[in-house]
Chains A and B, each alone.
Chain A
Amino acid sequence: MKDLFLIGSVPWWLIALAGLGSGALLIQQFVGLRQRLTLSQSSVLVCLRAVVYGLLIFFLFGPALVETRVLKLRRPLTVLVDSSQSMDFPATPKADSSGQPQTSRIELVREKLAGGKEPLLEKLSRDYDLRLFRFGTSLEPIAPAALPQLKAQDEGTRLLEILRSAAQQGGAQSAILLFSDGITNGIEKTLDGAAALPVPVFTVGVGESEDFIDVRLADVRAPEFAFRGREFKLDLIVQAHGLNGKTLPLYFNRGRNLITSRTLNVDADRFEQKITLAFTPRELGTHTFSVTIPQQAGEQITQNNHKEFKIDVQRDKIRVLTLSGSPSWNYRFLRTALKQDPLVELVSFVFLRTPTDSVDVPDNQLSLIPFPIDDIFLEELKNFDLVFFDDFSHRAYFNPVYLEKVRDFVRDGGGVAMLGGSRSFDSGGHAETALKEILPVELDGKGSYQTQGAVRPSLTAAGKVHPITRLHPDRATNEETWKRMPPLTTFNQVRSVKGETLLTATGDGTTPGSPLLTIGRFGKGRTLALMSDDIWRWNFIAVGNQETPQNHLKLVRQAVRWLAQEPSFEQVQLGPVPLSRPGEKVALKLRVFKDDFTPARQAAVQLRVFGSDGEPTLVPVTPDAEEGEYTGEYTPLKQGSYRVEAEASLAGKTLGRSKTTFTVAFPYGEIDDGRPNTELLKQIAAASQGEYVSIKDWNEKTLDKIAAKWETHAPSQIVEQRQTQLWSTLWPFFLILALLSVEWWMRRKWGLV
């Protein structure tokens, strides 16, 4: 289609002047012609000339033909479908009375896009350059044909990050049609302070937040580890929606045992309350704790009603109990060593008086306290990590039956050390007590206690590498250090050993190879026998020899740690396992040492992993290039807490055990809060000049609305105009020429030329 436009730039007065001039000229011509021709002949000639003048004046107006063409565009439309796990939640909060499984949010989206006689996707692909993506933690293109099989399985929703990426990919003319429940748990969670989205986003909300009933345990803050005997606190937030007026019970459990419960009175439709729970763990190890609120009527999402977490209960200090038969320098310097050790909490009992000692004052003038036999052996023993028997015999004080509790204590993982003296080993009658079973030396009642002479320590092969007797990291210097140790003057002779001897005694009153320091294991615990009550000399006399007392202090410190099974003194050491995701391979590394603490190269290692279901999985272990190091690989499939237990043995002899835990989790809280975040979808639409529409309100006109809104941002067609100026063509010239030629021919015919 072409339109005529006058686009000339000659001033109107000039054109009027030309018109007047032309009129005057025509009148003059008519008068002149009338004298020679008839009226009709004169009129014809003047008319012809008038047409020529008219055409010339018309061209002064600049006549032009404008041709208009409309081009329709196929704009890029990016359709994003949320495929995160929250899209698997029911689309409506109200339960279906028919008992049928409720339609999930993703099913609703699939139905909307791919269902019906003329699926929406087809319509969109007809009108637009359609690009279909699914998203969760990442943006993945999918074929329209694959949409019906799309599942909600992404472990997180990085909604805002994904939107920016999709907008960038689509280009400036594009728009985004987003189907989502609005739940986001990426780094960006709100639009506050964020750059505006460059393209309009038309958000289609899936799921209903009205009438949504849910109780959620949010923001649970539990420590990763706690100290035994010290209260730890646990903070969490309880959020409840649609439960105004209800009373909610909250249970705090350790394993299956209830620790405490709370009752929450919900007094608002959108209820939130911070809760602080406390517990004082008494047992070491990793314990599973949980907080639970039972499922409420009408509540669709129950995964967020229960939070489970593990806390590693550690000792803040090694609790040491010493029982000393009498005040002695050995006790004095042992006490100094233990008191100087920041890791040790010491409780000591020194028997200042024997039953045969008489006192000359009433009891109330004595500071002596009765030894709490029952309290110590029947109640408190389990709260200690190790017990020192320092020149102590039960004989005068209590029934040896109590010492059976000490045996049980070691069997369950405690440590016991017996130091020498006239009340120790055979001299103290321990051959008739349960201590005989646990000590690493054989007691037969015949061992003697010798008090004269000079007894020197000598490192055995095991003693040269064992962490207890390693007073210096350099092996040669360590051996030299032990050679320089001041001699002892007392010695308990024992028949033989059951454990590993680290030091032998040489000198007066000893037989070759007489054990001086022997260690052993009993059950899960460890024992140590030091056959002298004179090791204070390694401290004080060393000081007198202008040497350091550190060797004595270090020996005590290392013995305490070994007995208390500090991790660095374990023969089997499982390395830490980082947080991992389901499906990711986890490397479980461990180090194994022999009894003498040299790396165990050919140890038989059993590695088991326990998942949340409690079922063990045996993990094959292979030795690493590094001597004594082993690795097992395990792939956890589910989220949750996993426990690893390792046990190593060498030539049939168990070297030790170790255990650790690790957590498998996605770094998002996708199913923590199932409420659709409609507000965010509205904000996104408003901020990007798009439009929000609920999926349930989608109808025939919705697409038109979207198209109209999009039109303001990016038009759907282009109008093209071509302009042709008439005077720049030959046709006016030929027309004027033809008119003038006809006039000339007539003039000639009528005899004027």
Chain B
Amino acid sequence: MKRRTFIRLLSQSLVAAALVPRSAQATHPKEKRPLQFVFAQVRYRGGDWNPHPLAVTPLMEELMLRTSVEAPTVRHEITLTDRDLFTHPFLYLTGKYEFEPFTSEEIDNLRRFLSYGGFLLIDDALGQQGYGFDKAVRREMQKVFPGNDFKRLPSSHAALRSYYLLRRIGGVRIVHPYLEGITLGSSTPVIYCQNGAGAAWERDQLGKWTNPCTPGGEEQRRDAFHLGINLIVYAMTENYKEDLIHVPFIRRRLTR
């Protein structure tokens, strides 16, 4: 390595270390401010459970910047058999490749988790329908809720109106212009995005976006952040925006 190259790399490393928020360095932070939300990412066997390790911090920063929700800026890694699974009602499941089938304990836990108020955001980092992660996710969710397939969420779904009035589904690519979900009763505890939202959220340690969003560019990325915020708010307020008091107001805004 040339001396100039070494000095350049060293200086870049020092600058990067200074820019990274301290909280991002911790795996399980103990923040003094009250935290309403913890972004818990599911760790599973096989495949790639963590394709975008730096995706969560930008989303959490955006969440706190835009909403009244306070959250740690780093994710909490969790397995479906962890004892503290139910202390984190929001779960994020992502990946690129096909993964090993869930054990029956994991299936039971996930079913109980989702049936009693938990929320699962599934994000396909590969974006190939019927292959890899998509194939495995659909297979496993069939085990969790047999006979209850993913269905396309209507544009009037509360998740698309929980904070932003979403008209587009962002992500690093546009596989589907819609979300899918599994609905139980009046709530949708499982929402599936195949557009690679995590890839769109991810920023490197120098603050640059890791992945370009195509074809919509930065506007598409902004849509992905809006989607992330909406789904978190939806998880914490459920179908609050379907309350009668909100309906006429939202209708007026949508018709403008």
Contact = CB atoms under 8 A, between A and B. Distances in A.
Interface of A: 325-329, 331-333, 335-336, 346-348, 350-354, 357-361, 364-369, 421-422, 449, 451-452, 490, 533, 537, 539-541, 543-545, 549
Nearest to A346: B243
* Residue of B66, B68, B243 contacting most chain A CB atoms (<10 Å): B68
Contact of B112 (A353, A357, A451, A544): A544
Given A326-B68, A327-B37, A369-B245, 20 more contacts: A327-B68, A327-B69, A329-B236, A331-B237, A332-B89, A335-B240, A336-B238, A347-B245, A357-B65, A357-B68, A360-B222, A364-B253, A365-B253, A367-B241, A367-B250, A449-B34, A451-B34, A540-B117, A543-B112, A544-B85
A243 B50 CA distance: 91
* Residue of A333, A346, A351 contacting most chain B CB atoms (<10 Å): A333
B: contact size bracket? 35 or more
B250 to A, nearest CB: 5
Contact of A366 (B65, B165, B240): B165
Contact of A336 (B87, B117, B164, B241): B117
B236 A357 contact: no
Given A329-B89, A350-B237, A365-B165, A540 B118 contact: yes
Contacts of B85: 544
A589 B161 CA distance: 54
Contacts of A545: 86
Interface in B55-69: 65-69
B208 interface: no
Given A358-B65, A422-B34, A537-B87, A332 B256 contact: no
B236 A367 contact: no
Interface string B40-61: 0000000000000000000000
Contacts of A490: 34
A415 B117 CA distance: 27
A644 to B, nearest CB: 38
A201 to B, nearest CB: 67
Interface string B92-129: 00000000000000000000110011100000000000
Nearest to A420: B34
A490 B238 CA distance: 23
Contact of B246 (A328, A336, A367, A451): A367
Contacts of A353: 66-68
B66 A326 contact: no
A338 B240 CA distance: 12
Given A332-B89, A451-B34, A543-B116, A325 B68 contact: yes
Interface of B: 30, 32-37, 65-70, 85-87, 89, 112-113, 116-118, 161-165, 222, 226, 232-233, 235-238, 240-241, 243, 245-246, 249-250, 253, 256
A540 B233 contact: no
A664 B85 CA distance: 63
Nearest to B158: A367
Contact of B86 (A332, A368, A541): A541
Nearest to B236: A327
Nearest to A543: B116
A375 to B, nearest CB: 10
A366 B116 contact: no
A449 B113 CA distance: 29
Contacts, number: 124
Given A367-B250, A369-B246, A544 B86 contact: yes
Contacts of B163: 352, 366-368
A388 to B, nearest CB: 14
Contacts of A327: 36-37, 67-69, 232-233, 236-237
A368 B70 CA distance: 18
A154 B199 CA distance: 91
Contacts of B235: 332
B165 A326 contact: no
B238 A364 contact: no
Contacts of A331: 236-237
* Residue of A331, A358, A369 contacting most chain B CB atoms (<10 Å): A369
B243 A348 contact: yes
Given A332-B238, A421-B34, A540-B89, A354 B164 contact: no
Contacts of A366: 163-165, 253
A537 B35 CA distance: 14
A328 B70 CA distance: 9
A282 to B, nearest CB: 19
A640 to B, nearest CB: 42
Contact of A326 (B70, B89, B164): B70
Contact of A352 (B70, B226, B233): B233
A700 B67 CA distance: 103
A332 B236 contact: yes
A543 B256 CA distance: 44
B86 A540 contact: yes
B60 to A, nearest CB: 14
A452 B65 CA distance: 24
A326 B249 CA distance: 20
B161 A335 contact: no
Nearest to B226: A361
Contacts of A544: 85-87, 112-113
A705 B116 CA distance: 91
A358 B250 CA distance: 20
16 contacts: A329-B36, A332-B237, A333-B117, A335-B240, A354-B68, A361-B164, A364-B165, A365-B165, A367-B161, A369-B245, A421-B34, A490-B34, A541-B86, A543-B113, A543-B117, A549-B116
A346 B236 CA distance: 16
A314 B172 CA distance: 56
B66 A360 contact: yes
Nearest to A328: B36
A547 to B, nearest CB: 11
Contacts of A326: 36, 67-70
Contacts of B118: 540
* Residue of B86, B161, B245 contacting most chain A CB atoms (<10 Å): B86
A557 B254 CA distance: 36
B100 to A, nearest CB: 23
B230 to A, nearest CB: 9
A422 B36 CA distance: 11
A620 B118 CA distance: 58
Given A326-B69, A326-B70, A364-B256, A539 B117 contact: yes
A360 B237 CA distance: 22
Nearest to A351: B68
Nearest to A452: B30
B212 to A, nearest CB: 20
A139 B112 CA distance: 74
Contacts of A359: 66
B251 to A, nearest CB: 11
A337 to B, nearest CB: 10
B221 to A, nearest CB: 11
B111 to A, nearest CB: 11
Contacts of A367: 161-165, 241, 246, 250, 253
* Residue of A331, A346, A351 contacting most chain B CB atoms (<10 Å): A331
Pairs A-B, 6 closest by C-beta atoms: A544-B86, A326-B68, A327-B236, A543-B116, A328-B36, A422-B34
Contacts of B250: 367, 369
A423 B88 CA distance: 22
Contacts of A539: 116-117
A357 B65 CA distance: 5
Contacts of A325: 68
Given A327-B36, A352-B233, A543-B112, A332 B162 contact: no
Contacts of B116: 539-540, 543, 549
Contacts of B66: 353, 357-360
Contacts of A549: 116-117
Nearest to A451: B34
B126 to A, nearest CB: 29
A613 B67 CA distance: 60
Contacts of A347: 243, 245
